[in-house]
């Protein structure tokens, strides 16, 4: 008897779990070379402030060992690279080769090449020994993970005792008027902008849908609280459009 394969969300659609990672990779292959430009345009540059706050919340020590998970084009790696010394290091890990290539070029152009390592891998199966990192940071990547509980367990394993996980992710606007404006802008403007700038309407349609179905900040905080992590907390930014979650391994 043939076993029916489990399905998972892909925006507003459902796909086989085994297919989702490759479909996500295809999306980011399509948008990689215009990714940074689109981030600036879609957020009116505000994503830079969000990422600065995220790095600030990490309270980075110069000798920290940090994993930038689902690193994309390296915005977080670039910021962190200015804060570590010879004893520390950063691993920039992403499943997408094109995004990592842009990340590496961006870091080199910034003048920083020391103690930064680039790894292409599936973030649900982290290729590291236990108790390696002081911090794991996920910036706008968590909602794309297929097996979130498995991912959290994998992150927990590679963190040192006392280490922390930080997640910057889209959330739910706190105010009704902001929610209405945000939904109109997201559903009617962002895919069209993606089509004009990068020629990828459906990639940005998926982006909007993935944001819409992602758990609220309260629900994600509950997921983190019910995992192996401790002291889960979050802060809302820009009226709840995004939130930063932080929790610890003890």
Look at residue 17 and tell me if it is in a domain: no
Per-residue pLDDT at 60: 86
On whether 146 is known to bind a ligand per the annotation, the reply is: no
Q: What is the pLDDT of residues 138-179, one digit of tens each?
A: 999 999 998 899 999 999 999 999 999 999 999 999 999 999
User: Residue 235 belongs to a domain with what CATH number?
Assistant: 3.40.50.150
The dihedrals phi and psi of 65, each to the nearest 5 degrees, come to -105, 115
CA gap 196, 139 in Å, rounded? 25
What domain range is 59 assigned to?
A: 25-174+205-248
Cα atoms found within 13 Å of the Cα of residue 112, Cβ hemisphere only: 20
Q: What pLDDT is stored for residue 1 in this prediction?
A: 52
Give the CA angle between residues 100, 106, 110 to the nearest 5°.
Answer: 145
Annotation-wise, does 75 bind a ligand? no
192 in a structural domain? no
Q: How big is the chain, counted in residues?
A: 250
123 is in an annotated binding site: yes
Edge-first strand order for the sheet with 89-94 is 116-120, 89-94, 65-69, 133-139, 159-170, 242-248, 230-237
Q: What is the pLDDT of residue 21?
A: 84
- Phi, psi angle pair for 204, to nearest 5°: -80, -20
Confidence at residue 123, expressed as pLDDT on a 0 to 100 scale: 82
108 belongs to a structural domain: yes
Residue 218 belongs to some domain of the structure:
yes
Instruction: Name residues of the chain where pLDDT drops below 50.
Output: none
DSSP structure class, residue 228: S
What pLDDT is recorded for position 188? 95
- Report if residue 19 sits inside a domain: no
Q: Give pLDDT, residue 3.
A: 61
**Does residue 54 sit within a domain?**
yes
Q: Is 122 assigned a ligand-binding role in the annotation?
A: yes
In a domain, 103, yes or no: yes
Which tens digits make up the pLDDT trace of 82-92? 999 989 999 99
59 marked ligand binding residue: no
Model-level pTM? 0.94
- How many angstroms separate the CA atoms of 250 and 106, rounded? 35
- How many domains, in total, are found in the chain? 1
pLDDT given at position 114:
77
Question: Is 220 inside a domain boundary?
Answer: yes
């Amino acid at each position: 008897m043939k076993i029916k394969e489990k399905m998972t969300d892909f925006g507003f659609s459902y796909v086989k779990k085994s297919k989702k990672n490759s479909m996500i990779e295809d999306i980011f292959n399509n948008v990689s070379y215009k990714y940074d430009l689109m981030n600036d345009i879609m957020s009116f540059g505000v994503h830079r402030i969000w990422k600065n706050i995220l790095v600030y919340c990490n309270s980075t020590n110069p000798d920290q060992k940090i994993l930038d998970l689902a690193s994309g084009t390296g915005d977080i790696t670039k910021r962190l690279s200015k804060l570590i010394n010879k004893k520390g290091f950063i691993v920039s890990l992403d499943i997408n080769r094109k995004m990592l290539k842009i990340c590496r070029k961006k870091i080199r152009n910034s003048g920083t090449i020391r103690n930064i390592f680039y790894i292409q891998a599936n973030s649900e199966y982290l290729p590291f020994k236990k108790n390696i990192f002081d911090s794991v940071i996920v910036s706008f990547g968590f909602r794309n993970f297929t097996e979130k509980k498995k991912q959290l367990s994998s992150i927990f394993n590679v963190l040192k005792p006392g280490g922390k996980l930080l997640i910057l992710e889209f959330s739910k606007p706190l105010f009704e008027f902001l929610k209405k404006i945000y939904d109109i802008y997201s559903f009617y403007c962002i895919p069209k902008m993606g089509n004009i700038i990068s020629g990828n309407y459906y990639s940005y349609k998926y982006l909007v849908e993935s944001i819409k179905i992602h758990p609220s900040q309260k629900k994600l905080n509950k997921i983190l609280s019910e995992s192996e992590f401790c002291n889960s907390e979050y802060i809302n930014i820009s009226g709840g459009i995004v939130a930063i979650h932080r929790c610890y391994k003890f």
